[in-house]
Chains A and B, each alone.
Chain A
Amino acid sequence: MKLSGAEILIESLKKEGVDTIFGYPGGVVLNIFDKLYDEKSINLILPRHEQGAVHMADGYSRATGKVGVALVTSGPGATNTVTGIATAYMDSIPMVVITGQVPTMLIGNDAFQEADIVGITRPCTKYNYLVKDVKDLAYTIKEAFHIARSGRPGPVLIDIPKDVSVHKADFKYPEAITIRSYNPNYTGNKWQIQKAAEALAKSKKPVIYAGGGVLLSDAASELKELAEFTQSPVAMTLMGLGGFPGNDPLALGMLGMHGTYHTNMAVHNSDLIIAIGARFDDRVTGRVDAFSPGAKIIHIDIDPTSIRKNIHVDIPIVGDVKTVLKSLNALLKAKFKEDWKELHKDWLKQIAAWNKEHPMAYNKGEAIKPQQVMETIYKLTKGDCIITTEVGQNQMWAAQFFKYHYPRTFLSSGGLGTMGYGFPAAIGAQAAYPNKLVFDIAGDGSIQMNIQELATAVLYKLPVKVVILNNAYLGMVRQWQELFFQERYSASFLDDCPDFVKVAEAYGAVGLRAVKPSEVEPVLKEAIKVKKPVMMDFKIDKFEKVYPMVPAGGAINEMLLGDPIVAEKPKQTARRKK
């Protein structure tokens, strides 16, 4: 039977198990949206901006592990997706973005709403397509989903000209496909795995450095098995949070620029780093030549380019994290009869001592401290919720002062660092799990980058809880200006923030505000109770900073630790005025 391109697209998406699409219509995709109108098995969510659509698809994907799908029109619709695509690309999130294109005969003529989106997104997609013939459409979609979710996942874009969505072709969805030039290696070299096991058995001071690959590969239980069997502590990157239970005795915190003191000290003084699905990002390593100077490095990653890109690796293992860890665990259990507990006892003791020396803490004061907000959310949820973040101080406090126990519960733009990511991502996660509690930890700056999505949350009854840590500044910019630019607060002061409570109410959501520390818990409790989208405005200490902090270009053991922590009586912290 012959189907139109639009029908082929929708049938193909159904074959791929797509149940939710985040889509914004426009001229050249009207045929597709017309077919979606009758489609009962696909839930169509209309955002208020195409960037929102892509972040929602991204949040949906991170929360579920499925491929997120966004559908937009040509020209400005397509270019608005670029930030969202680049965000997903940097964090290896599987996604298929479908863009409409002007009719094939007009391509290249500077037609109305024409943009060369395939050219524009070439460097920020894993792969992309312009479909010129409806006969190629089904195969292209099959290939796109395959590429998006296999190997190192990533976003794939399919550009569909208007006439292709109208033309008809026989529809037969391919069962399987092979791409001769694309065959990711999943298993990992046996001898390298053997070498890794031997290195582990010799190590007195190992640190596992776990990244987002653990989550992407669904390998949290394998990681736990490795850590427990070998009694090795686990440091996590921002992307790795949730990959290992945050309250496990072997859990260190996050490492890197805003890593916890004992984690960075452990990494720096280690004799063996086992990097798992991580990529030695500059925010993790600090000064590369001073990174963990005495350590051998094992690096497990499915992407060969990640290995030795930033740092010399002694034992590279190219393969899927889950598959490799399974082999490694089996080998260790069968052949290595070390007394692991005894072997690493002193090391774990040393790390605990570091933690005692500088635990994660903050000084309480008259104003609300952002850390208190995060700790209260943890207290109320016990970690059983999804947290998304924007970017900046809010993101770091969310990473530092909350314990993530489960995979796919911390969604944050790690690589690209996209302000405006958290709120639409939270909506995407909530669309996937309508009954879960989803918080977006935001700043007063970043929430305003996609605040229009309040309309989406309200319209689709997605009860996302937005926590604005409102310090009336672009906080991280302000922090850098205070520390490194002589307190010259150039363009970082946001005194003219709107009244967020009124904004929420204007959109039909619930607005709440807390100005005193004692109001934090009641406001959060109220927000959790209400079955509607809630936007909370927490007026926090304007001058609170994120610590520890490794200044740019420093080694990760050279941390600024901030004001001394006052143990007993709460004390007003010193404030600077400008």
Chain B
Amino acid sequence: MRHIISVLVENKFGVLSRVSGLFSGRGFNIESISVGPTLDPAVSQMTIVTSGDDRIIEQINKQLNKLIDVIKVTDFTDVEYICRETVLIKIHTKKEDRAEALRICDIFRARIVDSTPTTYTIEITGDDKKIDAIINLLRPLGIKELVRTGKIAMAREEQKTA
């Protein structure tokens, strides 16, 4: 099963390598990993998408916690969360396809961030479903290049019922 794990780490050199080395050394799978600083510049936030059975996920959580530089590990599986990823997609556009491409972008609220006579570069942000859907629609037009940021996630604030 797929899990999204958020890891707060000390912002020191080598930390990313310690985390990624842990995954490769123990044969855990990383689907995506994204890293960036938090409000506190001494602390970074990693979002790791991984998969495995319960035993493996338990080990991943424990092994991450065991790393000296790891401050906190949160597995989003059992909580409500928001997950987003941004993708840049460069597509070939023949003259007759350009209008179709624009329509697709419009439907998905994607933006065209670069345009040449033969290509569009599209920026789209969303969850898995949305991104898979736009890719499927754009594929027949001819995708030239595609870059993904990896997922980031945040827990939803608990809804307080009145």
> 1/0 contact trace for B62-74 toward A, CB 8 Å?
1101101111000
> 1/0 contact trace for A245-283 toward B, CB 8 Å?
000000000000000000000000000000000000000
Tell me if A303 and B55 are in contact (CB < 8 A): no
Q: Which of B17-25, B126-134, B149-157 contacts A (4 or more CB under 8 A)?
A: B17-25
Tell me if B66 and A181 are in contact (CB < 8 A): no
Interface residues on B, range: 10 to 19
Tell me if A181 and B63 are in contact (CB < 8 A): no
Measured between alpha carbons, how far is A179 from B67 in the docked complex, in Å?
A: 12
A565 at the interface (CB under 8 A from B): no
Can you name the residue of chain A whose Cβ is closest to the Cβ of B54? A308
Given A122-B17, A147-B68, CB of A305 within 8 Å of CB of B59: yes
Please indicate which of the listed interface residues A119, A303, A304 has the most CB atoms of chain B within 10 Å of its own CB. A304
Can you name the residue of chain A whose Cβ is closest to the Cβ of B58? A308
A309 at the interface (CB under 8 A from B): yes
Q: With a CB–CB cut-off of 8 A, which chain A residues contact B75?
A: none
For window 48-101 of B, CB contacts with A under 8 Å fall at: 55, 58-59, 62-63, 65-66, 68-71
B10 at the interface (CB under 8 A from A): yes
Can you name the residue of chain A whose Cβ is closest to the Cβ of B18? A122
A306 → B minimal CB distance (Å): 9
- CB < 8 Å A-B pair total: 35
Tell me if B69 and A304 are in contact (CB < 8 A): no
> 1/0 contact trace for B4-36 toward A, CB 8 Å?
000001100010011001000100000000000
B118 → A minimal CB distance (Å): 41
Tell me if B17 and A181 are in contact (CB < 8 A): no
Can you name the residue of chain A whose Cβ is closest to the Cβ of B10? A181
Measured between alpha carbons, how far is A179 from B14 in the docked complex, in Å?
A: 17
Q: Which of A123, A126, A182, A305 contacts B21 (CB 8 A)?
A: A123
Given A119-B17, A122-B14, A122-B17, CB of A305 within 8 Å of CB of B63: yes
Q: With a CB–CB cut-off of 8 A, which chain A residues contact B63?
A: 305
Given A123-B25, A308-B55, CB of A180 within 8 Å of CB of B62: no
Tell me if B62 and A304 are in contact (CB < 8 A): yes
Measured between alpha carbons, how far is A133 from B25 in the docked complex, in Å?
A: 30
Measured between alpha carbons, how far is A127 from B17 in the docked complex, in Å?
A: 12
Tell me if B55 and A180 are in contact (CB < 8 A): no
Tell me if B68 and A122 are in contact (CB < 8 A): no
A561 at the interface (CB under 8 A from B): no
Tell me if A181 and B55 are in contact (CB < 8 A): no
Q: With a CB–CB cut-off of 8 A, which chain B residues contact A179?
A: 68
B82 → A minimal CB distance (Å): 26
Tell me if A118 and B66 are in contact (CB < 8 A): no
Q: With a CB–CB cut-off of 8 A, which chain A residues contact B55?
A: 308
> 1/0 contact trace for A181-192 toward B, CB 8 Å?
110000000000
Q: Which of A122, A130, A309 contacts B59 (CB 8 A)?
A: A309
Q: Which of B58, B62, B70 contacts A181 (CB 8 A)?
A: B70
Q: With a CB–CB cut-off of 8 A, which chain B residues contact A181?
A: 9-10, 68-71
Tell me if B10 and A122 are in contact (CB < 8 A): no
Q: With a CB–CB cut-off of 8 A, which chain B residues contact A118?
A: 14
Q: With a CB–CB cut-off of 8 A, which chain B residues contact A303?
A: 66
A136 → B minimal CB distance (Å): 12
A161 → B minimal CB distance (Å): 14
Q: Which of B18, B65, B68 contacts A304 (CB 8 A)?
A: B65
Tell me if B14 and A126 are in contact (CB < 8 A): no
- The interface size of chain A toward B, counting residues with CB under 8 Å, comes to 18
Measured between alpha carbons, how far is A304 from B68 in the docked complex, in Å?
A: 14
Tell me if B21 and A180 are in contact (CB < 8 A): no
A145 → B minimal CB distance (Å): 14
Q: With a CB–CB cut-off of 8 A, which chain B residues contact A182?
A: 68
B3 → A minimal CB distance (Å): 17
Measured between alpha carbons, how far is A309 from B62 in the docked complex, in Å?
A: 10
Given A119-B17, A181-B71, CB of A305 within 8 Å of CB of B62: yes
Measured between alpha carbons, how far is A180 from B70 in the docked complex, in Å?
A: 9
Can you name the residue of chain B whose Cβ is closest to the Cβ of A303? B66
Tell me if A180 and B71 are in contact (CB < 8 A): yes
Measured between alpha carbons, how far is A305 from B69 in the docked complex, in Å?
A: 16
A504 → B minimal CB distance (Å): 41
Measured between alpha carbons, how far is A147 from B58 in the docked complex, in Å?
A: 24
A472 → B minimal CB distance (Å): 38
Tell me if A304 and B66 are in contact (CB < 8 A): yes
Please indicate which of the listed interface residues B17, B18, B62, B70 has the most CB atoms of chain A within 10 Å of its own CB. B62
Measured between alpha carbons, how far is A179 from B10 in the docked complex, in Å?
A: 11
Q: With a CB–CB cut-off of 8 A, which chain A residues contact B9?
A: 181
A318 → B minimal CB distance (Å): 10
Measured between alpha carbons, how far is A127 from B67 in the docked complex, in Å?
A: 8
Q: With a CB–CB cut-off of 8 A, which chain A residues contact B10?
A: 181
B19 → A minimal CB distance (Å): 11
Q: With a CB–CB cut-off of 8 A, which chain B residues contact A130?
A: 14
> 1/0 contact trace for A166-201 toward B, CB 8 Å?
000000000000011110000000000000000000
Measured between alpha carbons, how far is A303 from B63 in the docked complex, in Å?
A: 10
A156 → B minimal CB distance (Å): 9
Measured between alpha carbons, how far is A309 from B60 in the docked complex, in Å?
A: 10
Given A304-B62, A305-B63, CB of A126 within 8 Å of CB of B68: yes
Q: With a CB–CB cut-off of 8 A, which chain A residues contact B18?
A: 122
Please indicate which of the listed interface residues B9, B14, B18, B66 has the most CB atoms of chain A within 10 Å of its own CB. B66
For window 125-146 of A, CB contacts with B under 8 Å fall at: 126-127, 130
A548 → B minimal CB distance (Å): 30
Measured between alpha carbons, how far is A147 from B66 in the docked complex, in Å?
A: 12
Measured between alpha carbons, how far is A147 from B65 in the docked complex, in Å?
A: 15
Q: With a CB–CB cut-off of 8 A, which chain B residues contact A307?
A: 62
> 1/0 contact trace for B101-142 toward A, CB 8 Å?
000000000000000000000000000000000000000000
Q: With a CB–CB cut-off of 8 A, which chain A residues contact B70?
A: 181
A178 → B minimal CB distance (Å): 13
Tell me if B21 and A122 are in contact (CB < 8 A): yes
Given contacts A122-B14, A122-B18, A123-B25, 5 further A-B contacts (CB under 8 A): A119-B17, A122-B17, A181-B68, A308-B58, A309-B59
**A-B contact list, 19 entries, CB within 8 Å:** A118-B14, A119-B17, A122-B18, A126-B68, A130-B14, A147-B68, A179-B68, A181-B68, A181-B69, A182-B68, A304-B62, A304-B65, A305-B59, A305-B62, A305-B66, A307-B62, A308-B55, A308-B58, A308-B59
Interface residues of A (CB under 8 A from B): 118-119, 122-123, 126-127, 130, 147, 179-182, 303-305, 307-309
- Ranked nearest first, the 3 interchain pairs of A and B with the lowest CB-CB distance are A305-B62, A181-B71, A127-B68
